[in-house]
């Protein structure tokens, strides 16, 4: 099939490439000329395992094209995917100006009936706005062309996006048109082989499904972080509790890892956006507001341990001039994404208190440098060991695989004092204590 994608960011690029790899002809349109030129040269704007060779292969074989020419894109695809960003407004609601601009562009140039698909995460009711925008532009053109709008949210995880796209566990299609449904079924046929993964529903339910999924996952995390705070105070170990409750299949082991807070471009934004939606419909979401509040507090958790360890309450200068090694900057492993990363909250608190950071991250150091620029209280180190050199303590914010089995005696010899603040519960507290470390982790400082 012939498919056009508008917005070659994270979601657009991954999904477009995976469709091309399955044999569809995909045209990618973006207004950012540098991005398009780079993509043609195989320079990918994001770090995502497995994506670069897939883009190169499908581009070389001619199934994947890149352009800034929107008119060409409109003529190209029978299916038109909107995958542009929906950044949060000042009040936290999703800003639809880019989505509606694409809708207007499609309506301006279309010469044949089209199916327009919302792939971006958009609030309930957006498909209606897209429809209205297209219709009014067609009316201005005095055109009686027909079109349908479909909601087809994505559920891919950063760091595993290619795999998630190739092997989706569900394909949600929100539509009120039998023809559009058939076209979407044909498009997704290569991904719907082993068992039925396509779930068809009305448009608003599809739009809400996306938010409900992310908000449920964020709720699980904040719930566990709250349990960790309780565990800490009653002298229990949250890791035992996690194991204990996860063994109940109704609860399950996934997404119940306590930590220093969830980040990324999705959970914080989507929880906020759904809260704003409920505000607008006269309903107060008590759960989602609590999920947000717990996460905000959790991102300050590591600094709370630091405050207690160094007695910052009594002496605000207690860590002035001290150096902290920081392992992990990105909001989670296998990405260079720093959006809403807990490490940012922590570093900003450390700097405010006059401390220095020696950071190591396998992928996100460049991005962190881009965000904070050159500053003398932030140094990037080439290895996780060199980050420890002469540091007063180690802080862990991201659970990269190669942080999990370090050489503890080497660590002890490199750090000036053997202190670890672990936001991801990577180690066994008793073992670390036996090795002579002061070890702080989430929900188990018993
Ligand atoms: C999330 C969802 O998992 C995807 O299904 C969804 O498609 C995507 O948002 C989206 O809306 O586009 P992502 O933001 O890539 O994906 O990241 P996750 O792997 O879900 O992790 C989110 C955050 O939760 C991370 O900061 C992670 O460290 C934290 N987390 C996750 C925990 O603190 N504990 C857990 O048990 C799991």
pLDDT at position 445 over 80: no
Q: How far is the CA of 157 from the centre of ligand 1 (A)?
A: 7
Count of beta carbons in the 10 Å neighbourhood of residue 172? 21
Q: Give the model confidence (pLDDT) of 346-391 as tens digits.
A: 999 999 999 999 999 999 999 999 999 999 999 999 999 999 999 9
Of the residues 28, 165, 266, 397, which is catalytic? Answer: 266
Nearest CA to ligand 1 atom 24: 262
CA distances from 173 to 56, 351, 365, 397 (A): 29, 47, 38, 37
Q: In the structure, which protein residues have their CB atom closer than 6 angstroms to any atom of ligand 1? A: 121, 154-158, 214, 217, 221, 255-257, 259, 262-264, 266-267, 331-332
The domains of the chain, with CATH numbers, are: 2-201 (3.40.50.720), 211-296 (1.10.1040.10), 299-441 (3.40.50.720)
Q: What is the band of 129 on the pLDDT scale with cuts at 50, 70, 90?
A: very high
Q: In the prediction, which pLDDT does 46 show?
A: 86
The answer on pLDDT for 446 being more than 70 is no
Looking at residues 61-65, what average pLDDT do you find? 97
Q: Is the pLDDT of residue 327 over 70?
A: yes
Residue nearest to atom 23 of ligand 1 (CA): 262
pLDDT for the residue 88: 79
Ligand 1 centroid distance, CA of 442 (Å): 18
> Closest residue (by CA) to atom 3 of ligand 1?
157
Confidence of residue 344 (pLDDT cuts 50, 70, 90): very high
Q: In the predicted model, what is the mean pLDDT of the chain?
A: 96
Respond yes or no: is residue 266 known to be catalytic. Answer: yes
Mean pLDDT value of segment 60-82:
98
Instruction: Using the atom order of ligand 1, give the atom closest to the CA of residue 331.
Output: 26
Closest among 130, 136, 274, 253 to 203, alpha carbons compared: 130
ipTM of the complex: 0.94
The rounded percent of the chain whose pLDDT value lies above 90 is: 93
| Confidence band of 87 (pLDDT split at 50, 70, 90) | confident
Q: How far is the CA of 267 from the centre of ligand 1 (A)?
A: 7
The pLDDT of residue 248 is 97
Mean of the pLDDT values across residues 434-445?
A: 95
Over residues 204-251, the pLDDT tens digits come to: 999 999 999 999 999 999 999 999 999 999 999 999 999 999 999 999
C-alpha–C-alpha distance, residues 126 and 103, integer Å: 11
Query: pLDDT value at position 93?
Result: 78
As a whole number of angstroms, the distance between CA 211 and CA 208 comes to 5
Check residues 270 and 88 and name the one with the higher pLDDT. 270
- Distance from residue 427's CA to the centre of ligand 1 (Å): 22
Q: Please report the atom of ligand 1 found closest to the CA of residue 210.
A: 11
Query: Which tens digit of pLDDT belongs to each residue from 178-195?
Result: 999 999 999 999 999 889
Per-residue pLDDT tens digits for 240-288: 999 999 999 999 999 999 999 999 989 999 999 999 999 889 999 999 9
Strand partners, 386: none
Find the 387 Cα to ligand 1 centroid distance in Å: 27
17-21, 112-116, 269-273: least confidently modelled range: 269-273
């Amino acid at each position: 099939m012939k498919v056009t994608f508008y917005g070659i960011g994270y979601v657009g690029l991954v999904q477009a490439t995976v469709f091309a790899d399955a044999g569809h002809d995909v045209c990618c349109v973006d207004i950012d000329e540098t991005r398009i030129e780079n993509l043609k040269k195989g320079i990918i704007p994001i770090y995502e395992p497995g994506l670069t060779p897939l883009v190169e292969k499908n581009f070389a074989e001619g199934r994947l094209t890149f352009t800034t020419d929107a008119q060409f894109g409109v003529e190209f695809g029978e299916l038109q995917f909107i995958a542009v960003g929906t950044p949060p407004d000042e009040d936290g609601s999703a800003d639809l100006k880019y989505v509606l601009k694409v809708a207007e562009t499609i309506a301006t140039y279309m010469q044949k009936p089209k199916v327009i698909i919302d792939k971006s995460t958009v609030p309930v009711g957006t498909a209606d706005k897209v429809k209205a925008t297209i219709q009014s532009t067609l009316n201005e053109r005095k055109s009686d062309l027909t079109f349908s709008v479909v909601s087809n949210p994505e559920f891919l995880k950063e760091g595993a996006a290619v795999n998630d796209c190739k092997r989706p566990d569900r394909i949600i299609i929100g539509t009120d048109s039998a023809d559009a449904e058939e076209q979407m079924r044909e498009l997704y046929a290569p991904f719907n082989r082993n068992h039925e993964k396509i779930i068809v529903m009305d448009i608003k339910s599809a739009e809400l499904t996306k938010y409900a999924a992310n908000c449920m996952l964020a709720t699980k995390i904040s719930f566990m972080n709250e349990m960790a705070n309780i565990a800490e105070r009653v002298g229990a170990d949250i890791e035992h509790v996690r194991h204990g409750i996860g063994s109940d299949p109704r609860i399950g082991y996934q997404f119940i890892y306590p930590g220093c807070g969830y980040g990324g471009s999705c959970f914080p934004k989507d929880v906020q956006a759904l809260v704003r939606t409920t505000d607008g419909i006269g309903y107060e979401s008590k759960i989602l507001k609590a999920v947000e509040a717990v996460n905000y507090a959790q991102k300050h958790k590591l600094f709370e341990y630091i405050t207690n360890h160094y007695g910052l309450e009594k002496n605000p200068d207690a860590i002035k001039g001290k150096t902290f090694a920081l392992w992990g900057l990105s909001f989670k492993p296998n990405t260079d994404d720093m959006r809403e990363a807990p490490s940012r909250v922590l570093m900003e608190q450390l700097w405010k208190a006059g401390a220095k950071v020696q950071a190591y991250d396998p992928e996100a150091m460049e991005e962190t440098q881009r965000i904070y620029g050159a500053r003398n209280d932030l140094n990037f180190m080439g290895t996780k060991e060199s980050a420890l050199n002469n540091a007063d303590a180690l802080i862990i914010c991201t659970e990269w695989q190669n942080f999990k089995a370090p050489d503890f005696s080497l660590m002890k010899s490199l750090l000036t004092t053997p202190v670890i603040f672990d936001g991801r519960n990577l180690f066994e507290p008793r073992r670390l204590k036996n090795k002579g470390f002061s070890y702080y982790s989430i929900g188990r400082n018993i």
